[in-house]
Amino acid sequence: MKKLFVLCFLLAFISGIQAQQKVSLEDVAKGTYRAENIYGIKPMLDGNYYTQISADKKRIVKYSFKTGKEVATVFDVNTARECNFKEFDDYIMSPDEKLILIQTETKPIYRRSFTAVYYIYNVQNNKLEPLSNNGPQQAPLFSPDGFQIAFVRNNNIYLVKLLFGNSESQVTKDGEFNKVLNGIPDWVYEEEFGFNRAFEFSADSKMIAYIRFDESKVPMYSFPWYKGLAPEKKEYTTYPGEYRYKYPKAGEVNSTVTVHTYDIKSHVTRQMDLPLDADGYIPRIKFTSNPEKLAIMTLNRHQDRFDLYMANPRSGLCKLTIRENAPQYIKEQAYSNIAFYPENIVLMSERDGYNHLYLYTIGGNLVKQITKGKFEVKDFLGWDRNRNIFYYSSNEESPLRSAVYKIDAKGKKTKLSVRTGTNTAIFNSTLTYYINKFSNLSTPTLITVNDNKGKELATLMDNAKLKKQIAGLNMPTKEFFKFKTTEGVELNGWMMKPANFDPNKKYPVIMHQYSGPGSQEVLDNWGVGSFRDGGMFEAYMCDKGYIMVCVDGRGTGGRGAEFEKCTYMFLGVKESHDQVEAARYLSGLPYIDGSRIGIWGWSFGGYNTLMSMSEGTPIFKAGVAIAPPTDWRFYDSVYTERFMRTPKENGDGYQAGSAILRAPKLHGKLLLIHGSADDNVHFQNSAEYSEALVQAGIQFDMQVYTNRNHSITGGNTRIHLMNRVAGFFIQNL
């Protein structure tokens, strides 16, 4: 009996110790407590199965949609013939799934672009062969008949014909770095229009259409390379090097874009007779199921007019099919989420004030508005044409949440997802099953297989291991809150309090925010927090005695066009004012020390940190700005002009939104952080801002990370950054 008592005591003692475990910054940086997820789910043709890369990157595994269980191995590096690599990075199935392109030796270029060495795998004979022996490839694509593969190398398009011994021919010949790109986007298109391939095959596999980017007149930007470490660039041991590339800043010259078609049989290249403004954009092209109809999507430079043309790829004639105008700007969903069917087009529009689905004929006649109401459709998931049912996700329940729905021809709506929080879906090809990814503020990612009535058939991942780990941690309490500003605007926020929170104490507060147009940080999902990991950095700081807060101000998403676009032409003014309003509200709470409030953010969040600390209200005691734009004249044309137009057109807006011009009014201790090789938000921003502070006689701290881009990672970098941020707040709050 005595032994049993001692054992129980020891177990309770150990349990108590476990309950006191605290999150370390090393664990946050390593992702120790990051939720598991399932990536790269690729539905197969028959609708019954999907494929995915195994965790060890050695196999392509086939799973059942009905049960979620593994049923076969499609490809294995250990058993494939002529395989000379031990793992791979990704894969592309041919349209008939008889061939697979295996991606290896991937080398990133910018955010979405990369080169890789691809191999063609024949499923039937289990054999691999290289796609090309002439150097790495970019953006490969199978023709619809599966007999050809096109790709880009050195800014030119190449074509491999599989029925002719994999013969390789060159489609374009004028491609040149920093001058002309064929079939791949330039830097600003890739970054702001969100794609990395700009060519398509026609439905009959007889033609290739592509966008040609002439960036020869775009101004050059350069930044230095140093030797550095992790990775080490030994070629710059004594003298630094330089990277030069074309980057159009606000108001500067963009690439001249044209659309061309290439007849594979006759080798004839034609330019489409597209009535595009001289400074207009072509954010997408897409062949429809009719080989005589090439959809070309265009925007004017202000991005407040979207035109959809149908082009004949042989005659070059372009017919305007749909035109969409907006008072401020057209959001990306208009062209990134558009779906073409043999007789119809489904697209998104905010024309009634909220993002909704619209059905058109292929000729451009509006059939109907599919969804209506004061909520936003987040994703179009598919249209079952036989039953005339549309599937989509929306935030109808709350701007903080999303659910999966279907709506029939009569407008009858059915909610399919069963859990309250954030739900996203991947449907199979026949729209009979879908994989649902769910999480909320207190639940890590849960992935289930469901039928199209919403019934859960199997659980693929429940993050049970993470839940067990978290149960043993000294985690903060998480809660949502709302408040009204002095201008009567209701804002949403989340708050994390220390596990041992005492309402009778006064706590310092650290506010984190992003605040950029259309963004949302206050969401009911597990990925809240400054590193989107369930608030692990926040847990570390809560352990140190801080309350952690995030507030989405005006200009953020989820609440309709009026709320999101009210910052138009004056970026940074209302956003920073709302963070000041949030700090004022927090300082009035009985358990918060209003004299110790800090603020920080990354990218737009870094910019808004600087703007908020120099808004004119001395409410922030300390702040950290990471990789901030500091004057919109320094940032790229597509993003900046979407919200601000050009500096010539909107001088007052650029003046009002300049953190540099506000620098003399900075109040509070500041830590400014930037990577020296940031190709997105250039180090120039922090260099010029720091100079403004120097000349204003304001002391500040600064941390530069050698050779780091906008994400500031590599080697020991991220843990160093986290320690720097945490230490700065601990020292100054």
Average pLDDT over residues 401-407: 98
Instruction: Say if residue 518's pLDDT is above 50.
Output: yes
- Distance (Å, whole) CA 166 – CA 140: 14
Pairwise CA distance, residues 153 & 160, whole Å: 12
Among residues 672, 506, 666, which one has the least CA distance to residue 594?
506
Q: How far apart are CA 477 and CA 642, in angstroms?
A: 39
Confidence grade of residue 9 (pLDDT, cut at 50, 70, 90): very low
Spatial distance between the Cα atoms of 413 and 390, rounded to a whole number of angstroms: 10
Q: Would you say residue 2 has pLDDT above 70?
A: no
Per-residue model confidence (pLDDT) at position 18: 44
Res. 19: pLDDT tops 80? no
Whole-prediction pTM: 0.95
Per-residue pLDDT at 15 exceeds 90: no
What would the two tokens of residue 127 be? 């054999």
CA distance 356 to 376: 6
State pLDDT tens for residues 665-679. 999 999 999 999 999
What is the per-residue pLDDT across 626-645, written as a single tens digit (0 to 9) for each?
999 999 999 999 999 999 99
Asked if residues 435 and 460 have their Cβ atoms less than 8 Å apart, the reply is: yes
* 683-712 pLDDT, tens digit each: 999 999 999 999 999 999 999 999 999 999
* 387: CB partners within 8 A, 6+ apart: 408
Give the pLDDT band (50/70/90) at residue 14.
very low
Asked if 90 and 40 touch (Cβ cutoff 8 Å), the reply is yes
Contact 137, 131 (CB under 8 A): yes
Cα–Cα distance between 57 and 89 in angstroms, integer?
A: 7
- Contact of 165 with 152, CB cutoff 8 Å: no
The stretches of 149-229 forming alpha helices (DSSP H) are 187-193
Contact 272, 311 (CB under 8 A): yes
Q: For residues 386-400, b (16+ Cβ closer than 10 Å) or e, as one string?
A: eeebbbbbbbbebbb
The mean pLDDT value for 400-411 works out to 97
Structure tokens that stand for 698 in this block: 């304001």
User: Which residues share a beta bridge with 481?
Assistant: 493
pLDDT surpassing 80 at residue 17: no
Whether 454 shows a pLDDT value over 80: the answer reads: yes
Q: Which amino acid is at 110?
A: Y
Whether cis (ω within 30° of 0) applies to the bond prior to 231 is yes
% of the chain residues with pLDDT over 70: 97
Structure confidence at residue 20 (pLDDT): 64
Q: At a CB cut-off of 8 Å and minimum separation 6, what does 639 contact?
A: 191, 192
Question: What percentage of the chain exceeds 90 in pLDDT?
Answer: 97
3-state secondary structure 104-130: EEEEECCCCCEEEEEEEEECCCCEEEE
Average the pLDDT over 274-285 and give the result. 97
Judge contact between 604 and 710, C-beta under 8 A: no
For residue range 541-571, list pLDDT tens digits in order. Answer: 999 999 999 999 999 999 999 999 999 999 9
The overall average pLDDT reported for the chain is: 96
Smallest CA-to-CA distance from 338 within 296, 278, 387 is with 296
* Digit-coded pLDDT (tens) for 231-275: 999 999 999 999 999 999 999 999 999 999 999 999 999 999 999
The CA distances from residue 253 to 188, 248, 332, 650, in Å, are 12, 6, 22, 17
Beta strands in 154-301 (DSSP E): 156-161, 167-170, 180-182, 199-201, 207-214, 220-225, 241-246, 256-263, 269-271, 281-287, 294-299
Q: Model confidence at 330, in pLDDT bands (50, 70, 90)?
A: very high
Residue 450 has which token pair? 């469901």
Evaluate if residue 8 carries a pLDDT over 90: no
